[in-house]
Structure 1
Amino acid sequence: MFPFKRWSGSRLAPAARVELRRSQYRAFLQQVPLLYAVLIVNTATVAITHLRVAPVYLSVYAPVLLCLFCVVRVVMWLRSRRRVLSDDALARRLRTMVWMAAGMGTAFTAWALSLYPYGDAYARSHVAFYMAMTVIGCIFCLMHMRVAALLLTCIVIVPFTLFFGSTHNPVLVAIAVNVLLVAVVMVMILLIYYRDFTTLVESQIQLRTKQTETQRLSDENFRLANLDALTGLPNRRRFFADLDGHLAPLQGYARAPGSLAIGIIDLDGFKRINDLYGHAFGDRVLEETGRRFAAQITPQVSVARIGGDEFGLMVVGATAYRQLLDLGDALTAVIERPYVLPEGAARMSASIGFANFPEAGETTLQLVERAYYALHFAQAHRRGGVVIFSPEHETQIRHLSKIEESLRRADFEREISLHFQPIFDTALREIMAFEALARWTSPTLGVVAPSMFIPVAERCDLIHALTEVLLRKALDTARSWPETVRISFNLSARDLTSAGALDRVIRTTLASGVAPHRIDFEITETALIQDFGQARTALDALKKLGARISLDDFGTGFSSLNSVHRLPIDKVKVDGSFVAGIEREATARAIVKSIVDLCQNLGLTCVIEGVETRAQMTALRELGATVMQGHLFGKPVAANLVLDTYVREPLLPWL
């Protein structure tokens, strides 16, 4: 077989060789009509000049067959010129063209030389002219097919030179030599052209390769810039870009309800897992969470990681109330499944807040704010559940906005006051402490509940100033109490996580004149969850001051035995929700009994909140609890009434 590969760019890489073949093939297809036109016209002309002098099989039949073959090849070319060939099919097609060029060159050369003996000198010269001109024209048409062109040159020029050089006719010999020289020049031109053609193809391949690599790197950079490396989900940037993209065509005129909704998902208990098992384990949990969420993604639902343990959810199309609830329930269900990893096992839940377009908002900012509000509502009232932002929530937001506006203008010294509720030791039959409870009477809003204005103060960074005023007033009141009575004061999570705020708490305490050992600083489990390390540092500083630490609302959050053991806690306050049915509910009794026993084993004081009836008190006493707080022992009273109400008068003589 002819060494086609050696002559077809084998020095190129495989991909480059394939591209070179395709370029050769495309260029050759452009020359096919001209190639066969040259053959048909030249052959017909020679045949006509030999009609009367050559046998009919040479002057008619042979040229007709050769021309018909050329016509058939042109028709086949017209049918296949738009066909896309595979790499293997293309290589076979090129090899076929090489051998076809050899066969056609042999056939046309043999036919022309067979005509030479017939006719006069002019007819014979026509044959020589035909062969010379035809082969030169074919070489030009085969410029892009180097192997075929060289093979055709050899097949035609060598017999032509030998044949006419042996005629001993000076004119024909000169023609043979002339054509040979022209053929040599043509071959040189062919080789130079093919080299330049190959170089051009190579440069185009390299350029496309660079462009492809550049595009690949650009796509990869774009992917990485929009992908969360840990979970494999889209990141915050991608989430908000997609949200803006979906909102843009909906705003203004295409405001069909139910066309778009977003959700914010928060993993309840993830910070506890991080604190207990370490960040490496937490990362593994997030990876698994990403896989679970990815399995829920559909063309209508997308999930992205937008924060540490927060995920964004975008729902396009079916966003009816029931559908969103079902989707939320499905997502919370996959999170509630146990996380069984090589390092250990963990469980947590997820709360989800949804905001629907355009009911909850028409801009990205509005929708996100409403979704966060629904999320916080879920965490406050139905942790581990799903909440969809509603008109009632909008009313609450407006009310909170009014509270924030009034709070920013408030004169804390004049408007903020304190009430005090006793904490009673039923074993000693005496008050052991008073808890300071904030009260706010706004000139514009009237009396505002602490459950409303304290969270607002935390959110708008007014809590530090509020804490400073409240602590100073509380300690001023406690100075007039007996030395044996303690004061219990609530610190915000923000107070513990801010070094400046903690310093102000310590300075206010030292300047009050109240002995630090008489002060109990109450903290909630929320403060621990937000930043366990910083909370531990802050509590250590308060302990060094001489104060005692109380963990409030125990049992309602995500604290663990390990957290209690690792913190410098002196007292645990059990949330009142466990007390409501304590005299008749075995589960509530078992929980309270476990906490009481835990506190006794760790040497902690256990305070039971929310005691309203003697039956509850009796049940708690049977479980081992002695220190209690609730309306049974006294309601909160103003600072100026504490002494007269609870200290100077006998307390509950019937106990």
Structure 2
Amino acid sequence: MFRNLKAILTIEAGDPELVQAQLAAFTKQVPLLYFMLVTNTVALTVTHFNAAPAVLTLYIPSVLYAVSLFRLVHWWFSRQRRYTHEEATMRLRSTYRLTALLGAGFCAWSLSLFTYGDAYQQSHVAFYIANTVVGCIFCLMHLRAAALALTAIVLGPFTIFFGTSGNPVFTALALNVALVTVAMVFILLTYYRDFRALIQSQKELTARQAETQRLSDENHRLANLDSLTNLPNRRQFRAELEKRLAAAEDAGTGLALDLIDLDGFKPVNDTFGHGIGDKLLIEVGERLSAFMQQNIFPARLGGDEFGLIFEGNLSPDRLRALGEEICAALHEPYVLSGQTARVSGSLGISILGDAGTTADRLFDRADFALYLAKQNFRGTAVVFSAEHEAEISEQGRIQQALRAADFEQEMYLAFQPLVDTDTHGIFAYEALARWKSPSIGTVPPGIFIRAAERAGIIGKLTEVLMRKALEAAKTWPDHVRLSVNLSTRDVVSNKTVDALLDIIAESGVDPARLDIEVTETAVMRNFALAAENIRRFSERGIGVALDDFGTGHSSLSYVHKLPLTKIKIDRSFIVDIASNELSRSIVKTIVDLSRNIGCVCVVEGMETAEQVAVLRALGCRMMQGYYFARPQRLEDTLAYQAASDAILNASLRKTG
């Protein structure tokens, strides 16, 4: 019980919200409290001025007035101040102590006046104490401890003093005040309980609102932040681009958009696992974040694709140089959990104004520049230019013509022989796509194949060309093979592979006479899916040739994971083969590699007898190029085949 009583008469410093609420409420009541105290005291002093000594009617009241006015001014000028919890607690405790002191002081002073004057003046003393204290208690209702202390210090002595006065009126008054005091205490405790419950309710509501805001902020963060790299995600990047684009246009400043795609990331995932792949992406994010000091805003757009916003008036040359710096940073080795991985980054950059003025336009142009980088300049930065704009327009025209084209009528094939230089016989023909459009004329294959890929109709085109190639193969001797190229999208399209396998099965051509050619780039883009589809061809007895070997970014460790039957050395190694020792070393290495893994090695791009002689000395036997024959129509291959067979037969007769 004593502990509960002590708790009731103590400032509840352990509840910061309650302390602040008590201080705020009491601050509003202070003017009324001291106004009532001073005016009632003045009235009592006036009625006893001629009856009591000056010390009781002048000197002591003056001290009480001074203290009250000082406290009133102090509270008034500090009413707008923000207090810490410790300061607020100290302020309430000082108020509590001062209430007790002032209550005792005013009570003792007023009771000392009782012996002076007549019955009316004595009644005024009783009225003063009861009325003033009741009013003060109401003003102190937010400070339960102070209000109860004042009740005990003033009304306790009051009740005893007047209850034992021997005057029935004063005794009744004392009893009446005692009963009122009990009711007042009950009201005080009830009010304070409700006040504290209200503060607690507000505290809980504030906590729920804070939690709701925290969850909202967290949801906003998660919705706009990539959880793996902690970079902004695609949504945030798009919003940021729109905002900065508007600001750049208003201020007349420059802005550029950069899209980045990692080259060789999927092989890292396949070789080391997704855990290492995730760590690599995290480090890529950190390397890109290091460029933020150059007014660059980085983001992860998804997968192994990242985006950058460049701010400032940067020239195309400066953007290209900055892009190359980023490429160099991304190309540095990644040491992750004891494993060393290498990737590179291809960049496509579009500039506000040169490439367009809207976010969609900048994205589209940066994506086109990125496509060019990945197709032709892997690991470098390409800045979208006016020439690229013309190319887009041309590609758009070509795509429209492709969509309207009759592939059966407009598409045809040219065939280039692959020669066995030991026998001078033809062992295969490579089928090369050709298109002559009635509306736009002849279109180079490098252009319309790319346009068909971007238009999403390459699979349909490949199916038509495969049928035509298989029909041509029926006209050749059975020992002559057919080689057909598959595009990057063909290799990773299950639908296209299904259709091609059905076409081959229905053609009547022995699958063992057929080779499909795929590039390193096509295989490395999605190795797992590409490898699975390549195996499906191999299981049907179809040969698999890896074209343009040495120009991609794949690891040699992947070569043995594919069911290859041929490796074709890219012509870029052949141009200076007669004079470049490094080219000869590379070719020799590839020839030896092919022999070791049981593959036929084919060299492309032969144009001179000197090249043929050098390559034969390096161990190359199978070759292809203008030196032997340019791509021919089907009817020309028949005559060329007949001449080749005649030479071969004559050679055999001499040997025999």
TM-score, structure 2 length as denominator? 0.93
**SS where residue 261 of structure 1 aligns?**
strand
**SS where residue 558 of structure 1 aligns?**
coil
| The one of 62, 65, 72 aligned to 2:63 | 65
**SS where residue 306 of structure 1 aligns?**
strand
1:63 deviation in Å?
A: 0.9
Deviates more, 1:179-188 or 1:641-650: 641-650
Aligned residue for 2:335? 340
> Residue 596 of structure 2 aligns to which amino acid in structure 1?
N
Q: Structure 1 residues 50, 321: CA separation in 2 closer, same or farther (over 3 Å shift)?
A: farther
Residues 586-614 of structure 1 show CA distances to partners (whole Å, capped at 9, x for unaligned) of 32222222111111111111111112222
Aligned residue for 1:228? 226
1:514 deviation in Å?
A: 2.7
- Structure 1 segment 433-452 matched on structure 2, within 5 A: 433-452=428-447
Aligned residue for 1:583? 578
Distance 1:25 1:325 in 2: 64
Aligned residue for 1:6? 7
Contact residue 52 and residue 117 of structure 2 kept, 8 A: yes
Aligned residue for 2:551? 556
| The one of 402, 413, 425 aligned to 1:430 | 425
Aligned residue for 1:402? 397
1:278 deviation in Å?
A: 2.3
Contact residue 603 and residue 620 of structure 2 kept, 8 A: yes
Aligned residue for 1:530? 525
Contact residue 264 and residue 525 of structure 2 kept, 8 A: no
Aligned residue for 1:293? 288
| The one of 239, 243, 251 aligned to 1:241 | 239
Distance 1:340 1:88 in 2: 53
1:213 aligns with 2:208: no
1:489 deviation in Å?
A: 1.0
Aligned residue for 2:593? 598
Q: Structure 1 residues 257, 51: CA separation in 2 closer, same or farther (over 3 Å shift)?
A: closer
**SS where residue 576 of structure 2 aligns?**
coil
Deviates more, 1:353-362 or 1:200-209: 353-362
Deviates more, 1:338-347 or 1:149-158: 338-347
Q: Structure 1 residues 9, 406: CA separation in 2 closer, same or farther (over 3 Å shift)?
A: farther
1:2 deviation in Å?
A: 11
Contact residue 226 and residue 232 of structure 2 kept, 8 A: yes
Contact residue 257 and residue 359 of structure 1 kept, 8 A: no
Distance 2:92 2:385 in 1: 71
1:10 deviation in Å?
A: 9.0
Aligned residue for 2:47? 49
1:487 aligns with 2:488: no
1:196 deviation in Å?
A: 0.9
Residues 431-482 of structure 1 show CA distances to partners (whole Å, capped at 9, x for unaligned) of 2212111111112221111110001112222212211221222222222222
Distance 2:159 2:9 in 1: 28
| The one of 112, 115, 119 aligned to 2:113 | 115
Aligned residue for 2:139? 141
- Structure 1 segment 58-457 matched on structure 2, within 5 A: 58-247=56-245, 254=249, 258-297=253-292, 300-457=295-452
1:257 deviation in Å?
A: 5.5
Distance 2:96 2:250 in 1: 66
Contact residue 523 and residue 551 of structure 1 kept, 8 A: yes
Q: Structure 1 residues 556, 211: CA separation in 2 closer, same or farther (over 3 Å shift)?
A: same
> Residue 515 of structure 1 aligns to which amino acid in structure 2?
D
Deviates more, 1:512-521 or 1:21-30: 512-521
> Residue 84 of structure 1 aligns to which amino acid in structure 2?
R
**SS where residue 292 of structure 2 aligns?**
coil
Runs (5+) with no aligned partner, structure 1: none
Contact residue 257 and residue 357 of structure 1 kept, 8 A: no
1:170 deviation in Å?
A: 2.0
**SS where residue 580 of structure 1 aligns?**
coil
Distance 1:158 1:371 in 2: 87
1:4 deviation in Å?
A: 9.9
> Residue 7 of structure 1 aligns to which amino acid in structure 2?
I
Distance 1:150 1:140 in 2: 11
Aligned residue for 2:16? 18
Aligned residue for 1:28? 26
1:624 deviation in Å?
A: 2.0
Contact residue 257 and residue 358 of structure 1 kept, 8 A: no
1:313 deviation in Å?
A: 1.8
Aligned residue for 1:468? 463
Distance 1:522 1:79 in 2: 89
Deviates more, 1:430-439 or 1:512-521: 512-521
Contact residue 4 and residue 147 of structure 1 kept, 8 A: no
1:651 deviation in Å?
A: 7.0
Aligned Cα root-mean-square deviation (Å): 2.5
> Residue 150 of structure 2 aligns to which amino acid in structure 1?
L
Contact residue 11 and residue 92 of structure 2 kept, 8 A: no
> Residue 38 of structure 1 aligns to which amino acid in structure 2?
M
Distance 1:86 1:256 in 2: 44
Q: Structure 1 residues 328, 8: CA separation in 2 closer, same or farther (over 3 Å shift)?
A: farther
Q: Structure 1 residues 9, 615: CA separation in 2 closer, same or farther (over 3 Å shift)?
A: farther
Q: Structure 1 residues 373, 84: CA separation in 2 closer, same or farther (over 3 Å shift)?
A: same
Contact residue 4 and residue 95 of structure 1 kept, 8 A: no
Residues 106-129 of structure 1 show CA distances to partners (whole Å, capped at 9, x for unaligned) of 111121122222222222222221
1:630 aligns with 2:625: yes
Residues 372-408 of structure 1 show CA distances to partners (whole Å, capped at 9, x for unaligned) of 0011122223221222222211111000000000111
Runs (5+) with no aligned partner, structure 2: 652-656
The percentage of counterpart residues that share the same residue type is 47
